[in-house]
């Protein structure tokens, strides 16, 4: 019964979405206030329907209703509750319902909080948002019904993919989707603006918070995914340039560009058509990512069960959504009036450079990810170009990006003084030099690239601190005034400082983590000791442990440094009962500067009568900085989001009240 209610709610949601897609759009074209006014209530009803469907699906999972095919295939009665819940979105069908749920949440937020939007813009935005919804609801109902029944019902389910039974990955998809799907807002605003034929500072101010929300969540989602890969896949890599990772990284790169270019639209009224294009591209890449992951055109560890029929449907969806919006762009964008001019050396110029580098980086990732597909078209097969390609193309693009990122915020709007800016960066130069010398000394003869990475990170930190110091008048003003300036500093500026600092720390973490790790592999018997970089790991014993739905071999290590016990690590090798798959659960000990990482491998080697185990130990310098840096970026995003300027309605409503005639108020 519950499954049927869910199914019915989805159908109802589709009907409501159709109304929301058509009526407000036609109403806006005919200037019919009543029709436009249907946008907001339908958005709320659509959300209610989809939320009901999602709730029903989750109920089926929580109560282990194995008459529902989806539950049977992806859950098991032995599974811990948290994974029963997360199994709701740990499969293709369920994750698509989550997808449309988030889409509807964003639509409903515009409906609820967008009171100060001009009614025609609001109607068109909600209509476009709902068109996307119609496409995906149709996709779910026609090719991926999550509520299908199996009769007769099996006794038990097949278990969720063990790799997904992990706290990190349980919450990774919702985060990622809020990011992915959140860019739909920027997309809807862009399309609405193209139809309206008007892009101005106010438009940018409405788009920016949505982009910021999406960007912050996407950053968090990607970070969580990398963290999961780091400790779960068992050899401490955190980024594999896997198609699925790239699918989320491309929207991030272009979304970051969008975030920055919309500043120019807001402050300088320039770069409008470019910003519109970025908004379209960002969401298009989100859609393409969805296609790549689910159609089976590319192979990946994370792959959902793939199905060519679904592939055809999503491809049609892509052609209509992306093709349609690009046709609209080709037709309408030339009509948008350009705004303020600026010299190449200026804040705008620096942001344009940022945009060019980020989009080029996204393009290289795009080519690298799809190269196998291009090859396949010429009778090749599914192959992987792998990290060698990306390290050779992507990483070099990050060098000018970081260098320019340091200087950019020091330049003035419209026309900047590069010599002056560089002169003010004396401190940054000195700081960079110190960082380089320390890095070179610590890692002498090991990796020149690691030193280069830390140099770049040092430069960025130096620049960010210089800019921050200049803004608050550090060393220039009295401490009372400095404090006053700090508290008076706009949240947007705080956000920028924090996020840029986070980026620098991430760069440092990535350099250290990829270039300086140490590792040892050895067969160990109980009682034996293996050492790495001055840490001594003693294998105390290996026990068989019974988990709720798995059995595990757990090795217990005592870790000593100079004879002093610092921690105990207990890595596991699990075998899941239902599927028979094995996973490695690495054990980690994090310090501020490095992680100790232990993995227990296959046992069984009989060595002198006593059983021995393959043990792998890693010393991973600066890895914790990756996570800290990512967190700072996310924090920067949210701090920036809390800026007065973006607080929906606050300043604009007051100004709008002076300027705009009463008829332009929302029609609800």
Binding site for other proteins (CB under 8 A): 234-235, 237, 240-243, 273, 277, 280-281, 284, 288, 291, 295, 297, 299-301, 303, 308, 311-312, 315, 318-319, 322-323, 326-327, 329-330, 333-334, 370, 372-377, 379-388, 519, 521, 584, 599, 601-602, 614, 616
**Phi, psi (deg, nearest 5) at residue 556:** -110, 120
234 or 462, CB closer to other proteins? Answer: 234
Q: How far is the CB of 190 from other proteins (least distance, A)?
A: 12
Q: 149 by DSSP, 3-state: which? A: strand
The dihedral sign for the CA sequence 621, 626, 627, 632: positive
How far is Cα 633 from Cα 509, in angstroms, rounded to an integer? 14
Q: How far is the CB of 443 from other proteins (least distance, A)?
A: 18
604 or 662, CB closer to other proteins? Answer: 604
234 or 406, CB closer to other proteins? Answer: 234
Task: Let me know: does 287 contact 101? Beta carbons within 8 Å.
Answer: no
10 or 333, CB closer to other proteins? Answer: 333
213 or 277, CB closer to other proteins? Answer: 277
User: What do you get for the CA distance between the two ends of the chain, in Å?
Assistant: 37
The dihedral sign for the CA sequence 167, 288, 245, 243: positive
How far is Cα 130 from Cα 276, in angstroms, rounded to an integer? 19
Q: How far is the CB of 653 from other proteins (least distance, A)?
A: 34
Q: Which two tokens stand for residue 421?
A: 């800016």
Q: Which of 597, 636, 631 is nearest to 616 (CA)?
A: 597
Task: Let me know: does 642 contact 214? Beta carbons within 8 Å.
Answer: no
312 or 545, CB closer to other proteins? Answer: 312
The dihedral sign for the CA sequence 489, 491, 493, 495: positive
For the residues of 69-110, what is the DSSP string, one character each?
Answer: HHHHHH--TTS-HHHHHHTTTSSHHHHHHHHHHHHHHHHHHH
Q: How far is the CB of 400 from other proteins (least distance, A)?
A: 24
Q: How far is the CB of 372 from other proteins (least distance, A)?
A: 7
Q: Which two tokens stand for residue 144?
A: 């991926």
In sequence order, the 6+-apart residues with CB closer than 8 A to the CB of 388 are none
11 or 301, CB closer to other proteins? Answer: 301
Q: How far is the CB of 647 from other proteins (least distance, A)?
A: 33
Q: How far is the CB of 308 from other proteins (least distance, A)?
A: 6
Q: How far is the CB of 189 from other proteins (least distance, A)?
A: 18
Q: How far is the CB of 299 from other proteins (least distance, A)?
A: 4
How far is Cα 29 from Cα 218, in angstroms, rounded to an integer? 34
359 or 506, CB closer to other proteins? Answer: 359
Q: Which of 100, 69, 92 is nearest to 3 (CA)?
A: 69
Q: Which two tokens stand for residue 337?
A: 């009036």
Q: How far is the CB of 269 from other proteins (least distance, A)?
A: 19
For residue 108, with 0-12 CB atoms within 10 Å meaning exposed, 13-18 middle and 19 or more buried, which class applies?
Answer: buried
For the residues of 309-349, what is the DSSP string, one character each?
Answer: HHHHHHHHHHIIIIIHHHHHHHHHGGGSPP-----SSSHHH
Q: 623 by DSSP, 3-state: which? A: helix
How far is Cα 444 from Cα 464, in angstroms, rounded to an integer? 28
382 or 446, CB closer to other proteins? Answer: 382
Q: How far is the CB of 574 from other proteins (least distance, A)?
A: 12
65 or 159, CB closer to other proteins? Answer: 159
71 or 226, CB closer to other proteins? Answer: 226
- Pairing between β-strand 564-569 and β-strand 587-590 as defined by DSSP bridges: unpaired
Q: Which two tokens stand for residue 329?
A: 């762009």
Alpha-carbon radius of gyration of the chain: 27
229 or 460, CB closer to other proteins? Answer: 229
SS (H, E, C) 184-208: HHHHHHHHHHHHHCCCCHHHHHHHH
Task: Let me know: does 597 contact 586? Beta carbons within 8 Å.
Answer: yes
113 or 235, CB closer to other proteins? Answer: 235
Q: How far is the CB of 581 from other proteins (least distance, A)?
A: 9
382 or 647, CB closer to other proteins? Answer: 382
Q: How far is the CB of 311 from other proteins (least distance, A)?
A: 5
């Amino acid at each position: 019964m519950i499954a049927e209610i869910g199914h019915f709610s989805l159908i109802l949601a589709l009907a409501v979405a159709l109304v929301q897609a058509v009526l407000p759009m036609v109403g806006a074209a005919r200037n019919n206030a009543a029709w436009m006014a249907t946008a907001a209530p339908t958005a709320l009803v659509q959300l209610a329907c989809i939320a009901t469907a999602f709730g029903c699906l989750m109920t089926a999972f929580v109560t282990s209703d194995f008459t529902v095919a989806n539950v049977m295939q992806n859950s098991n009665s032995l599974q811990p509750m948290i994974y029963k819940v997360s199994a709701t979105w740990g499969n293709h069908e369920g994750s698509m319902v989550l997808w449309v749920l988030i889409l509807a949440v964003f639509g409903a937020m515009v409906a609820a909080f967008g009171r100060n939007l001009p009614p025609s813009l609001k109607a068109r935005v909600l209509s476009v948002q709902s068109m996307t919804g119609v496409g995906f609801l149709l996709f779910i109902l026609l090719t991926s019904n999550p509520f299908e029944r199996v009769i007769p019902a099996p006794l038990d389910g097949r278990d969720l993919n063990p790799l997904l039974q992990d706290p990190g990955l349980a919450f990774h998809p919702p985060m990622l989707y809020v990011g992915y799907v959140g860019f739909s807002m920027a997309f809807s605003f862009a399309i609405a603006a193209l139809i309206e034929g008007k892009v101005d500072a106010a438009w940018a101010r409405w788009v920016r918070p949505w982009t910021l929300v999406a960007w912050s969540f996407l950053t968090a989602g990607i970070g969580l995914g990398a963290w999961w890969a780091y400790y779960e896949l068992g050899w401490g890599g955190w980024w594999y340039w896997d198609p699925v990772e790239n699918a989320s990284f491309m929207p991030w790169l272009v979304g970051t560009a969008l975030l920055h270019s919309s500043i120019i639209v807001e402050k300088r009224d320039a770069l409008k058509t470019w910003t519109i294009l970025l908004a379209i591209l960002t969401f298009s890449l989100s859609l393409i990512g969805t296609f790549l992951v689910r159609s089976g055109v590319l192979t990946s560890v994370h792959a959902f069960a793939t199905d060519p029929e679904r592939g055809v449907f999503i491809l049609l969806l892509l052609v209509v959504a992306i093709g349609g919006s690009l046709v609209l762009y080709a037709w309408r964008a030339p009509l948008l009036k350009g705004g303020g001019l600026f010299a190449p050396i200026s804040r705008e110029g620096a942001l344009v450079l940022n945009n060019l580098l980020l989009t080029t980086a996204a393009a290289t990732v795009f080519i690298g990810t799809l190269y196998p597909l291009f090859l396949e078209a010429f009778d090749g097969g599914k192959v992987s170009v792998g990290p060698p390609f990306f390290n050779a193309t992507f990483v070099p693009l990050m060098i000018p990006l970081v260098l320019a990122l340091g200087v950019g915020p020091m330049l003035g709007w419209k026309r900047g003084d590069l010599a002056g800016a560089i002169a003010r960066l004396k401190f940054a130069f000195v700081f960079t030099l110190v960082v380089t010398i320390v890095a070179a000394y610590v890692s002498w003869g090991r990796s020149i690239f690691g030193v280069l990475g830390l140099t770049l990170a040092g430069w960025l930190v130096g620049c960010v601190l210089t800019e921050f110091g200049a803004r608050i008048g550090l060393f220039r003003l009295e401490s009372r005034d400095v404090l006053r300036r700090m508290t008076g500093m706009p949240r947007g500026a705080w956000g920028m400082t924090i996020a840029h600092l986070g980026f620098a720390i991430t760069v440092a973490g990535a350099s250290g983590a990829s270039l300086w790790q140490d590792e040892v592999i050895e067969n160990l018997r109980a009682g034996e000791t293996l050492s790495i970089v001055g840490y001594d790991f003693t294998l105390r014993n290996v026990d068989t442990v019974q988990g709720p739905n798995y059995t595990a071999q757990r090795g217990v290590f005592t870790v000593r440094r100079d004879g002093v016990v610092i921690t105990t690590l207990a890595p596991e090798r699990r075998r899941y009962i239902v599927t028979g798959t094995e996973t490695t659960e690495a054990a980690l000990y994090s310090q501020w500067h490095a992680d100790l990482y232990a993995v227990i491998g296959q046992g069984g080697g009989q060595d002198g009568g006593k059983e021995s185990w393959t043990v792998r130990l890693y010393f991973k310098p600066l890895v914790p900085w990756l996570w800290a840096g990512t967190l700072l970026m996310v924090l920067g995003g949210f701090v920036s989001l809390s800026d007065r300027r973006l607080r929906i309605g606050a300043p604009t409503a007051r100004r709008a009240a002076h300027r705009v005639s009463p008829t332009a108020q929302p029609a609800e």
